[in-house]
Amino acid sequence: MGQHNISSVAHLIAEPVRSVMLITLADGSAMSAGALAKAAGVTAQTASSHLAKLLDGGLLSVESKGRHRYYRLAGAHVSHVLESLASVGPVTPAWRNTPNRPAQALRFARCCYDHLAGQISIAVTQSMLTRDFIVEAGERQYVLTPSGCAWLQQLGVDVSDLAFDQPDHARQCLDWTERQYHVAGLLGARLMDAFLAWGWLCKSSTARSVTVTALGWEGLKQHFGVARDAFGPG
């Protein structure tokens, strides 16, 4: 990829509305322009302009079904590009300063495949590290400690069947809006399932953002030391 292409792709991804669209599609789903406009909090005309740029830049593909057109990521390599840019490029300031509420919601808490991502996931991960419930081990890996295993079981999270010798049991996933790692892998998925089952989180029906419920804030404060006021107004 030439220097011109690299700078063009970085410019496309750095714009907050387009970032929301890419994140919304990062689970491999296909969505209409109208659904993506709603997820990004923009008009249909504005969404159409951004989608055209993403198509021209090779980041999206489009498929026609009847009268509707559905957009998806051009391939898994686009997700890899997002993660790679997160590790080297300053994408976070654009998200911090955007008045786009859907973008702010995605930055705060969202689904990342089968686990939790965003600011709230970073806080949960840091809490588990501070309390020695997980430790860093090897390249981009966490390991659940015996005390962490006992603690999670006390909470009602069944981790007895996790294969701790498998490299994906607690993987470090780079959060590309925060440029920090959150816990993924089997442990991340198990935590996400528990948070949803306990009513701590509520998934959005139209976007990848998730909402922390009142019950969730109580549980996060009690068990992880994660307080709502630590994230400021919003």
Q: In terms of Cα–Cα distance, which of 3, 25, 141, 2 is closest to 82?
A: 25
Q: Which helix (H) or strand (E) holds 226?
A: none
- Contact between 215 and 223 (Cβ < 8 Å): no
Backbone φ and ψ for 154, nearest 5 degrees, come out as: -65, -35
Q: Is the pLDDT of residue 208 over 80?
A: no
Beta bridge partners of 135: 143
Average pLDDT over residues 185-196: 94
Distances from the Cα of 213 to the Cα of 15, 195, 219, angstroms: 29, 10, 10
What pLDDT, on a 0 to 100 scale, did the predictor assign at position 230? 86
And the tokens for 13? Answer: 């991804």
- The pLDDT, as a whole number, for residue 61 is 94
Contacting residues for 18 by C-beta, under 8 A, at least 6 apart: 12, 50, 53, 54
Domain ranges of the chain: 6-89, 106-230
Over residues 145-176, the pLDDT tens digits come to 999 999 999 999 988 777 666 666 898 988 87
**What is the per-residue pLDDT across 175-188, written as a single tens digit (0 to 9) for each?**
877 878 999 989 99
More confident residue, 230 or 77: 230
CATH of 6-89, one of 3.20.20.10, 3.40.50.300, 1.10.3720.10, 1.10.10.10: 1.10.10.10
Where would I find the beta strands (DSSP E) of the chain?
A: 31-32, 60-65, 68-73, 110-112, 115-117, 134-136, 142-144, 172-175, 180-183, 201-203, 210-212
- The closest of 40, 34, 44 to 70, measured between CA atoms, is 34
Query: How many CB atoms neighbour CB 164 within 10 A?
Result: 14
Reported confidence tier of residue 4, pLDDT bands at 50, 70, 90: very low
CA distance 20 to 102: 7
Q: What angle do CA 179, 36, 88 make, to 5 degrees?
A: 20
The string of pLDDT tens digits covering residues 68-126 is 899 998 987 787 676 666 555 555 555 566 666 777 777 888 887 789 999 999 999 99
